[in-house]
Amino acid sequence: MQTYLVGGAVRDALLDYPVHERDWVVVGASPEQMLELGYQQVGKDFPVFLHPETRDECALARTERKRGHGYTGFAVHCDPGVTLEEDLLRRDLTINAMAQADDGTLIDPYGGQRDLAERVLRHVSEAFVEDPLRVLRTARFAARYAHLGFTVADETIALMAEIVRQDELAHLPPERIWIELDRALGERNPEVFVEVLRECGALARLLPELDALFGIPQPEQHHPEIDSGVHTLMVLQQAVKLSDAGDVRFAALLHDLGKGVTPAGELPRHIGHEHRGIRLVKAVCQRIKAPNQYRDLALKVCEFHLHSHRAMELRGKTLLKLLRATDALRRPDRFEAFLAACEADARGRKGSEESPYPQADYLRRAREIALGVNARMFPNLQGKAMGEAIAGEQVRRLDAGRPNLRQPS
Ligand code: CTP
């Protein structure tokens, strides 16, 4: 029996990239032998074990053949005769199909090192198409390594397009799609994830509401980049600069969905796109089962991003409405997330990438003013009357304080 380090750990070590987890493949052993050695079986369908001490994942070498649809529809073949090369052949990308022996020897039958050097994400074999999740994985790896110069090989894009054409993505559970999207949003260049999905046609299947933005013009005066899809990806890039939080990046991605359904006669203007977008954001979140925190922020940013941009023109009443709608008074963390997404929107335009966003501080100061009013100021009031008195005083102070909101205190 022999054990090899495989997959991401080998790839990332060669790339000088941080290694998060170590996966091992075991050749020449049976499940019974593994159990005798103290390994703990975790895989129900696959022969996967945890090492008794390190708790690393150790899988018996296996081959797989497609049996049904989706990423679970596999017939797994595993016996002590399955070779390392056979196991590596079933894997997705050449850079993920290398193994390292105990003595450091690299086993690389499918050109992983060559593709690492050439910065190419390339499928190992035609068996790539047997697992539709690989469309998303490949796009995610492209997002992760884009800054190192990696791109997806044309032949691999062609196979991804084939998976899309066969409608195999329809068999992926929403939870899996969500995990990949969320992980992609956490990468350095999540916009590349979207671009790769678009290139192979997967975006139109997975997120048609987003795909619809490409080719939709906006007024050049506010959007020198013109295209709504291009703008959205620029906003996403800016969101990456402003925040590590997945929900901020997700909100950036969905904030302008309404522009995809602007009546053709109104283009390139998009009056009311914030409201038209709400239904679409809800539909996306429901379909891909986005967590509530992501959904809530995406909805707020969709509906109120123009309010944020125009903060300095808003009267006290509308300012208060905005503060309340974004839960600013009770949840400052959520408000900061909202402001980050709005700032990303303002900067995600050609030529505005470095522009300041004074609206954020303006709104933070407005929040402070509103918080200066509390129930103790109206000892004789209760219930609805109290609520109205507080709101009235908040509006009065906001209106009175507006000139001062512009200057840092
Ligand atoms: N793998 C595959 N097809 C999949 C999932 C995984 O071929 N759909 C293989 C790849 O060889 C991959 C390995 O299993 O390298 C381990 O998978 P995983 O832990 O999901 O990914 P990593 O490559 O380790 O990448 P990450 O850094 O994202 O964890």
Quick: pLDDT tens for 103-131. Answer: 999 999 999 999 999 999 999 999 999 99
* Angle at which helices 358-371 and 316-325 cross, to 10°: 90
Atom of ligand 1 nearest to the CA of 9: 24
pLDDT at 78 (0 to 100): 85
Q: Where a domain ends, among 82, 111, 140? A: 111
Please work out, in degrees rounded to the nearest 5, the angle formed at the alpha carbon of residue 332 by the alpha carbons of 330 and 336. 145
d(CA 33, ligand 1 centre) in Å: 25
Do 385 and 269 belong to one domain? yes
pLDDT at 47 (0 to 100): 86
Q: What's at 80, amino acid-wise?
A: P
Binding site membership of 87 for ligand 1 (Cβ less than 6 Å)? no
Residue 69 has pLDDT above 90, yes or no: no
Alpha helices in 55-124 (DSSP H): 84-89, 112-118
Instruction: Kindly report the number of other CB atoms within 10 A of residue 35's CB atom.
Output: 12
Binding site membership of 131 for ligand 1 (Cβ less than 6 Å)? yes
Q: Is residue 175 part of a domain?
A: no
The DSSP line for 222-288 is: T-TT-BHHHHHHHHHHHHHHH---HHHHHHHHHTTGGGGGS-GGGTT--TTHHHHHHHHHHHHHHHT
More confident residue, 396 or 71: 396
State the pLDDT confidence band at 43, using cuts at 50, 70 and 90.
confident
Alpha helices in 83-153 (DSSP H): 84-89, 112-118, 133-145
> Whole-angstrom Cα distance, residue 113 to residue 15?
10
> Whole-angstrom Cα distance, residue 137 to residue 132?
9
Please state, in angstroms and as integers, the Cα–Cα distance from residue 382 to each residue in 211, 245, 329, 395, following that order: 51, 39, 20, 19
Count of the separate structural domains present in the chain: 2
pLDDT at 409 (0 to 100): 54
State the pLDDT confidence band at 79, using cuts at 50, 70 and 90.
confident
Q: Could you tell me the CATH number of the domain that includes residue 59? A: 3.30.460.10
* Among 396, 405, 394, 320, CA closest to 359: 405
Q: Is residue 2 part of a domain?
A: yes
> What percent of the chain is helix, strand and coil (3-state, nearest 5)?
55, 10, 35
Q: What's at 130, amino acid-wise?
A: E
Report the chain's mean pLDDT, rounded to a whole number.
94
Lowest mean pLDDT among 173-187, 251-265, 358-372, 393-407: 393-407
Residue nearest to atom 28 of ligand 1 (CA): 8
| pLDDT tens, position by position, 146-204 | 999 999 999 999 999 999 999 999 999 999 999 999 999 999 999 999 999 999 999 99
* Among 285, 300, 312, 369, CA closest to 338: 300
Q: Is residue 262 part of a domain?
A: yes
63 touches 86 (CB < 8 A):
yes
What secondary structure letter does DSSP report for 111?
Answer: -
88 touches 54 (CB < 8 A):
no
Q: Mutate which of 6, 19, 71, 92 to test ligand 1's pocket (most atoms within 8 Å of Cβ)? A: 92
Burial (0-12, 13-18, 19+ Cβ within 10 Å), 6: buried
| pLDDT tens, position by position, 267-289 | 999 889 999 999 999 999 999 99
* Among 358, 360, 335, 353, CA closest to 233: 353
Residue 406 has pLDDT above 80, yes or no: no
Q: Is residue 34 part of a domain?
A: yes
Do 106 and 218 belong to one domain? no
Lowest mean pLDDT among 19-23, 88-92, 340-344: 19-23
Q: Where a domain ends, among 111, 127, 144? A: 111
231 touches 223 (CB < 8 A):
yes
> Whole-angstrom Cα distance, residue 38 to residue 359?
60
Binding site membership of 138 for ligand 1 (Cβ less than 6 Å)? no
Binding site membership of 295 for ligand 1 (Cβ less than 6 Å)? no
State the pLDDT confidence band at 73, using cuts at 50, 70 and 90.
low
Binding site membership of 137 for ligand 1 (Cβ less than 6 Å)? yes
Binding site membership of 249 for ligand 1 (Cβ less than 6 Å)? no
d(CA 133, ligand 1 centre) in Å: 11
* Among 134, 36, 44, CA closest to 94: 134
Q: Is residue 202 part of a domain?
A: no
Q: Mutate which of 91, 159, 168 to test ligand 1's pocket (most atoms within 8 Å of Cβ)? A: 91
Report pTM: 0.94
Q: Is residue 123 part of a domain?
A: no
Q: Is 57 helix (H, G, I), strand (E, B) or coil?
A: strand
Atom of ligand 1 nearest to the CA of 134: 8
Q: Is residue 32 part of a domain?
A: yes
Binding site membership of 133 for ligand 1 (Cβ less than 6 Å)? yes
Q: Is residue 217 part of a domain?
A: yes
Do 221 and 348 belong to one domain? yes
d(CA 155, ligand 1 centre) in Å: 20
Q: Where a domain ends, among 80, 111, 142? A: 111
Binding site membership of 23 for ligand 1 (Cβ less than 6 Å)? yes
Binding site membership of 134 for ligand 1 (Cβ less than 6 Å)? yes
% the chain with pLDDT above 90: 88
Do 226 and 371 belong to one domain? yes
Give the sign of the dihedral formed by CA 185, CA 190, CA 191, CA 194. negative
| Residue 346, C-beta contacts closer than 8 angstroms, at least 6 positions apart | 309, 352, 355, 357, 359
Q: Which domain holds residue 72?
A: 1-111
Atom of ligand 1 nearest to the CA of 137: 8
Binding site membership of 8 for ligand 1 (Cβ less than 6 Å)? yes
pLDDT at 247 (0 to 100): 98
Atom of ligand 1 nearest to the CA of 23: 16
Binding site membership of 276 for ligand 1 (Cβ less than 6 Å)? no
Residue 138 has pLDDT above 90, yes or no: yes
Instruction: Kindly report the number of other CB atoms within 10 A of residue 199's CB atom.
Output: 16
